[in-house]
Structure 1
Amino acid sequence: MNDENRLDEIIARYLTGVSTPEESAFIEHWFRHNGNINKPDIELSQVDKRRMLKKMHAEMEERTQKKAPFVWYAAALLTGLLLGGWGISYLLSPAPNVYTTIHTGIGEVRHTWLPDSTEIWINANTTLRYHPDFSHHRDVLLIGEALFSVKQDEEHEFLVTTPDSVSTLVLGTRFNIGSYTTEHHTTISVLSGKVKIEKTGTQLGTLTARQSLVFRQNDQTFTRSMIADTASAMGWTNGSWVYENIDAAELARLLYNQYGITLNNKTGRSLQLKTGINFNHHQSAAEIAEIFCVLANCQYRMVDEKLFELY
């Protein structure tokens, strides 16, 4: 990965609140030394520029009592270099820009509504953050998985951004997004309506009902496909997990998010089923691991109650 792509990745992680302390320190140092995110080789979109200013504004609110002057300098730099008059008016807005956070624990699925009456189901081990002035700024940051039934509002777009800086823009629709950081890909599935998808200024396309897109972080590529069964795509909301050709990495994510169990693949080979399979929350983690191993021609052992190994 070249320096520009690495910087773009760190910025995306910083914007969505998942950067490490070292990465945050790097971004702050970069701003102090006149970092310019308007360079052609970085190519941040207007959406990302707006999110960057919001992030810095949130940092200001949080650090005012700590007297961190660099934050004010960075915000001024962003305002002057990137956003002009709009940035100044936003920066001087009296409303504090502190995102509201919803977090689900291991095995927890939550059904709730956003302030604009958008209905959401939030999957286990997921963090969702949304703008405090949601009636005017329908911006959502998602780390994990959620199913959205968006309240239509033609005057205010609804934007969901994931840690890999993939942005999904809608007016009114029903769609599912899965973007766990351990999986290194983001999946957007549209059940009804239409969404537009962007990655750091690049349009990935428009999805309509029964269409899906998978963006892979490792090679920055994406594929589109049709959804055979929309009920299966949202099955996790009632504790049914439907997979097509599940591999060991997906199994590990399922066991950790739903049962708090870490799964290590010690077989030395890539394990992937060649068929569809349906698990559910009535099964134990051991039962799920055993079924997978029967079909994948491997075995598993419980090292302890929180650690399984495939061998």
Structure 2
Amino acid sequence: MIEIKNLKKVWEDDGSSVLEDINLTIEDGDIYALVGRSGAGKSTLLRCINGLTSYQEGSLVVNGCEINQLKEKELREFRRHVGMIFQHFSLLERETVYQNIALPMQCWKYSKEEIDKKVKELLELVGLTDKMNAKPRNLSGGQKQRVAIARALTMDPQILLCDEATSALDPKTTNSILDLLMEINQKIGITIVIVTHQMEVVRKACNKACILEHGKIADEGTVKDIFIKQPKSLRRLLGEEKVYLPKTGHNLQIAHMVNDLHDGELFGKMSSDLGYVFPILNGKIQEYQNESMGIFVINVDNEHFGKVTEYLDKKQINWRELEVVDEEEEEEE
């Protein structure tokens, strides 16, 4: 478990704050996303977790260890149980796939027999048994990242930290890497923390997330709740899509799990139950692991506004009213 309380990180050169009042808990077995724009502090927070970066205030406890209190030898032993993968793979180009994966165990003086057994197990796990003797230059980006994942698992870590691990990959390869990480999480129960700005990564692989803005936590919770509730921090991160909104009546954005209640059934039944037909202005379906989220915008006149919102509340369907912004005001902003 990772428990962070009131954590503050200040850059020593200029005294500027990069992380402030960070409070979150990452449970064993979570696939947890740290998301935000560039400069939000997500990679710095990841480096605090594995002790690569110190913090000035607060507490950061990983599996019972307060990171800032660890001495150099203790910190080295701690990092043994924390794997890490990066955006650019960080492989040794002159070494084979086998040698790259074996490197951490060689540094810790494991026997050749132990190394050989572990490397071959991991090669099978990441699907690269046939690439054992290949050099990184002969691998695709996805294969290189699989080697990096295998190398990160050699010491049987309890936690795997991923810093923009799929940012350099195409969408199809990204999906295959996420499938692998989810498989590893399920097979060995490892806790995975993913730093990313790719929301499709969050929706596909993660069960919980926090959104960082200017070094502070703007929102935190399950991925499903965050996307259903559509908090302002998520909307700022995604960028609001421009939708034509009538200046009369009320424009409501409705978000819900399609698998729980199909959109056609929701809107058709609501129209039938209320005896009122309303226009659907915009709609999209977003995938969330094995489920789908529906996000739609409807327009409701003043007469039926109360009845419609009461109906949605009764069905426990998330909604919010969208603000109409004049084009002139938008241009001024």
User: TM-score if structure 2 supplies the norm length?
Assistant: 0.30
Structure with the higher fraction of residues in helix conformation: 2
More strand by proportion, 1 or 2?
Answer: 1
Superposition TM-score, scaled by structure 1 size: 0.32
Higher relative contact order, structure no. (Cα contacts within 8 Å, ≥ 6 residues apart): 2
Q: Which has the larger radius of gyration?
A: 2
